[in-house]
Amino acid sequence: MTDRGVPQGGIGRSARLASLPLAFTGRAVAGWGRTLAGADSDDVAAATIARNAEQLFAVLGTLKGGAMKLGQALSVYDAMIPSDFAGAYHDALAKLQTSSPPMPTRDVHRMLAQQLGSGWRERFTDFDDEPRAAASLGQVHRATWRAADGTGRDVAVKVQYPGADVALDSDLRTLQRFSRLFGAIFPALDVRALITELRERTLEEVDYRIEATRQRAFAAGFAGDPELVVPRVVASAPKVLVSEWLDGAPLRDHLGQEVRGGGASEAERDRYGTTIVEAMFASPARIGLLHADPHPGNFLVLPDGRLGMIDFGAVAELPDGIPPVLVQVLTLTARGERDALTALLRREGFLAPDAEAADVLRWVGALADPLRLERFHFTREWMARQGSRVANPGNRAYRETGRALAMPAEFVLVLRVLSGWMNILAQLDCTVAARGIVERWVPGFAEV
Query: Could you tell me how many helices (H) and strands (E) the chain has, helices first?
Result: 17, 14
Q: What is the pLDDT of residue 418?
A: 85
Residue 396 pLDDT greater than 70, yes or no? no
Residue 45 pLDDT greater than 60, yes or no? no
Of 410 and 147, the one with more pLDDT: 147
CA dihedral for 314, 320, 325, 326, sign (positive or negative): positive
Q: What is the pLDDT of residue 7?
A: 45
Spatial distance between the Cα atoms of 23 and 29, rounded to a whole number of angstroms: 10
Residue 3 pLDDT greater than 50, yes or no? no
| Beta strand 307-309 pairing with 228-229 | parallel
Residues 261-281 have a mean pLDDT of 88
CB-hemisphere CA count at 13 Å for 387?
Answer: 26
Residue ranges in 316-408 assigned as alpha helix (H): 324-335, 338-347, 357-364, 380-390, 396-400
Q: What is the pLDDT of residue 278?
A: 96
pLDDT band at 55 (very low <50, low <70, confident <90, very high): low
On whether the CB atoms of residues 281 and 442 are closer than 8 A, the answer is yes
Residue ranges in 64-163 assigned as alpha helix (H): 65-75, 83-98, 105-116
Spatial distance between the Cα atoms of 420 and 431, rounded to a whole number of angstroms: 17
User: What is the three-class DSSP state of 246?
Assistant: coil
- Enter the DSSP assignment of 222: T
On whether the CB atoms of residues 61 and 68 are closer than 8 A, the answer is yes
Residues 70-74 have a mean pLDDT of 65
Residue 206 pLDDT greater than 90, yes or no? no
Across 33-37, 139-143, 440-444, the highest mean pLDDT is recorded for: 139-143
The pLDDT tens digits of the residues spanning 94-117 come to 555 555 567 899 999 999 999 999
Residue 271 pLDDT greater than 60, yes or no? yes
Select from 214, 239, 234 the least CA-distant residue to 137. 239
Q: What is the mean pLDDT of the chain?
A: 76
Spatial distance between the Cα atoms of 338 and 364, rounded to a whole number of angstroms: 12
Spatial distance between the Cα atoms of 142 and 350, rounded to a whole number of angstroms: 48
On whether the CB atoms of residues 145 and 172 are closer than 8 A, the answer is no
Q: What is the pLDDT of residue 205?
A: 77
Residue 317 pLDDT greater than 70, yes or no? yes
Select from 411, 408, 398, 400 the least CA-distant residue to 190. 398
- Enter the DSSP assignment of 351: B
Spatial distance between the Cα atoms of 436 and 446, rounded to a whole number of angstroms: 9
Domains, in order of start, for the chain: 10-98+168-202 (no CATH), 105-164+205-244 (3.30.200.20), 249-448 (no CATH)
Spatial distance between the Cα atoms of 218 and 230, rounded to a whole number of angstroms: 7
Residue 258 pLDDT greater than 50, yes or no? no
Spatial distance between the Cα atoms of 417 and 200, rounded to a whole number of angstroms: 14
* Residue 64: Cβ-neighbour burial (10 angstroms; 0-12, 13-18, 19+): buried
Residue 80 pLDDT greater than 50, yes or no? yes
Spatial distance between the Cα atoms of 172 and 119, rounded to a whole number of angstroms: 36
Q: What is the pLDDT of residue 401?
A: 57
Q: What is the pLDDT of residue 8?
A: 45
The pLDDT tens digits of the residues spanning 207-253 come to 899 999 999 999 999 999 999 999 999 999 999 999 999 999 888 88
**Residues found in the chain:** 448
Residue 221: count of CB within 10 angstroms of its CB: 18
Buried b (16+ CB within 10 A) or exposed e, 355-374: bbbebbbebbbbbbbbbeee
Spatial distance between the Cα atoms of 242 and 209, rounded to a whole number of angstroms: 11
Residues 378-384 have a mean pLDDT of 87
CA 2 to centroid of chain Cα atoms:
27
Residue 287 pLDDT greater than 70, yes or no? yes
Spatial distance between the Cα atoms of 52 and 49, rounded to a whole number of angstroms: 5
